Structure 1
Amino acid sequence: MAPASDMTRRHQELADSVLLFPELPPEFALRAAVALHGVFPFDLAYTAGDPYLQTVAQINDRLGLKSNPLRTVSAVNDKALMREILKGTGVGQVASAEVRTRADLERFAAENGFPLVLKPSRGSASRDVHVVPDGSALSAAASRLAPAAGGGPGGTASWVAEEFLEGREFSVETHSAAGRHQVLAVTEKFTNEHRVEIGHLVPARITEAERALLTAETRSVLTALGVEEGPGHTELILTPRGARVVETHTRPGGDAIVALIRIAEGYDIHELTFSWLAGKSGPSPLRHEPQAGGAAIWFLTAGPGRVTAAGGEEATRASEGVRFASLSAAVGDEVRIARNSRERLGEALAVGDDADSALRRAREAVGRLVVEVEPAGRG
Structure 2
Amino acid sequence: MTTRVLLLEAGGPESGAIVQTAVRSGYRVHAATTSAIHATYDAELKALLSGCLLTDFDRPDQTLRDIVAYVRNQDINAVFTTNEYLTELLAHVCADLGLPGNDPALAAAARDKAAMYRAFTAAGVTTPYSRLVSSEDELRALCAAGAIAFPCVIKPVDGAGSAGVTVLTNLAQVPAAWRAAHAPHGMYGTPCDANVLVQDYVAGTEYSIESMTRHGITTHLCITEKAVTRGAYRVETGHSLPAALPPVAEQNVHHEVEKAIAAVGIRNGASHTEVIVGTDGRCTVIEIGARIGAGQIGFLIQHALGIDPWAACLDTAMGRAADLTPTSNGYATVRFLTSPRRGRIAAMTGLPERGPRVPIVRLRAETGQVVYGAQRNATRLGSFVVVGPNRDTVSPYADHLLAQIRIEVEPVEPTDSHATQGV
Pick the TM interval, shorter chain.
Answer: 0.7 to 0.9
Match of 1:223 among 262, 266, 270: 262
Task: Supply the RMSD in Å over aligned alpha carbons.
Answer: 2.8
Deviation for aligned residue 1:265: 2.4
Query: Any residues of structure 2 matched to 1:6-155 within 5 Å, and which?
Result: 10=20, 12=23, 14-16=26-28, 18-22=50-54, 24-27=56-59, 28-106=62-140, 109=143, 110-144=146-180, 147=183, 149=185
Query: More deviation in 64-73 or 213-222?
Result: 64-73
Q: Which amino acid aligns with 1:229?
A: N
1:365 aligns with 2:398: no
Distance 1:155 1:298 in 2: 30
1:255 aligns with 2:287: no
Q: CA-to-partner distance for each residue in 1:245-276, whole Å, 9 max, x for gaps?
A: 11111110011101111222232221222122
Matched with 2:203 is 166
Distance 2:325 2:191 in 1: 49
Q: CA-to-partner distance for each residue in 1:48-102, whole Å, 9 max, x for gaps?
A: 1123222212212333433111122210011110001222232123110122212
Distance 1:118 1:154 in 2: 18
Q: Which amino acid aligns with 1:234?
A: T
Q: CA-to-partner distance for each residue in 1:128-165, whole Å, 9 max, x for gaps?
A: 111111223223324455556469x9975232111111
Tell whether the 8 Å contact from 2:133 to 2:195 is kept in structure 1 after alignment.
yes
How many pairs were matched up? 371
Deviation for aligned residue 1:231: 0.8
Tell whether the 8 Å contact from 1:302 to 1:336 is kept in structure 2 after alignment.
yes
Tell whether the 8 Å contact from 2:225 to 2:240 is kept in structure 1 after alignment.
yes
What is the DSSP-based 3-state SS (H/G/I as helix, E as strand, rest coil) of the residue aligned with 1:127? coil
Query: More deviation in 126-135 or 97-106?
Result: 97-106
Deviation for aligned residue 1:331: 2.2
Tell whether the 8 Å contact from 1:148 to 1:157 is kept in structure 2 after alignment.
no
Query: More deviation in 66-75 or 103-112?
Result: 103-112
Deviation for aligned residue 1:29: 3.1
**Unaligned runs of at least 5 residues, structure 1:** none
Deviation for aligned residue 1:108: 5.3
Query: More deviation in 270-279 or 255-264?
Result: 270-279
What is the DSSP-based 3-state SS (H/G/I as helix, E as strand, rest coil) of the residue aligned with 2:219? strand
Q: Which amino acid aligns with 2:125?
A: V
What is the DSSP-based 3-state SS (H/G/I as helix, E as strand, rest coil) of the residue aligned with 1:137? helix
Q: Which amino acid aligns with 2:349?
A: G
Distance 2:193 2:307 in 1: 42
Distance 1:93 1:365 in 2: 37
Tell whether the 8 Å contact from 1:310 to 1:329 is kept in structure 2 after alignment.
no
Deviation for aligned residue 1:375: 4.0
Matched with 1:244 is 284
Tell whether the 8 Å contact from 1:319 to 1:365 is kept in structure 2 after alignment.
no
1:281 aligns with 2:321: yes
Deviation for aligned residue 1:237: 0.7
Distance of aligned partners of 1:100 and 1:47 in 2 relative to their CA distance in 1, 3 Å threshold: same
Deviation for aligned residue 1:293: 2.4
Match of 2:214 among 177, 181, 195: 177
Tell whether the 8 Å contact from 2:123 to 2:259 is kept in structure 1 after alignment.
no
1:2 aligns with 2:8: yes
Distance 1:148 1:87 in 2: 29
The percentage of counterpart residues that share the same residue type is 26
Tell whether the 8 Å contact from 2:8 to 2:79 is kept in structure 1 after alignment.
no
Matched with 1:268 is 308
Deviation for aligned residue 1:111: 2.6
Distance 2:202 2:350 in 1: 37
Q: Which amino acid aligns with 1:349?
A: V
Query: More deviation in 57-66 or 293-302?
Result: 57-66
Q: Which amino acid aligns with 1:207?
A: P
Tell whether the 8 Å contact from 2:212 to 2:220 is kept in structure 1 after alignment.
yes
Q: TM-score w.r.t. structure 2 length?
A: 0.79
Matched with 1:202 is 241
Tell whether the 8 Å contact from 1:321 to 1:361 is kept in structure 2 after alignment.
no
Q: Which amino acid aligns with 1:339?
A: Q
Query: More deviation in 316-325 or 43-52?
Result: 316-325
Match of 1:355 among 388, 391, 396: 391
Distance of aligned partners of 1:372 and 1:140 in 2 relative to their CA distance in 1, 3 Å threshold: closer
Q: TM-score w.r.t. structure 1 length?
A: 0.88
1:307 aligns with 2:342: no
Distance of aligned partners of 1:148 and 1:240 in 2 relative to their CA distance in 1, 3 Å threshold: farther
What is the DSSP-based 3-state SS (H/G/I as helix, E as strand, rest coil) of the residue aligned with 2:321? coil
Q: Which amino acid aligns with 1:188?
A: E
Tell whether the 8 Å contact from 1:352 to 1:361 is kept in structure 2 after alignment.
no
Distance 2:290 2:11 in 1: 23
Distance of aligned partners of 1:76 and 1:156 in 2 relative to their CA distance in 1, 3 Å threshold: closer
Q: Which amino acid aligns with 1:167?
A: G
Distance of aligned partners of 1:328 and 1:19 in 2 relative to their CA distance in 1, 3 Å threshold: closer
Distance of aligned partners of 1:350 and 1:149 in 2 relative to their CA distance in 1, 3 Å threshold: closer
Tell whether the 8 Å contact from 2:114 to 2:157 is kept in structure 1 after alignment.
yes
**Unaligned runs of at least 5 residues, structure 2:** 1-6, 30-49, 414-423
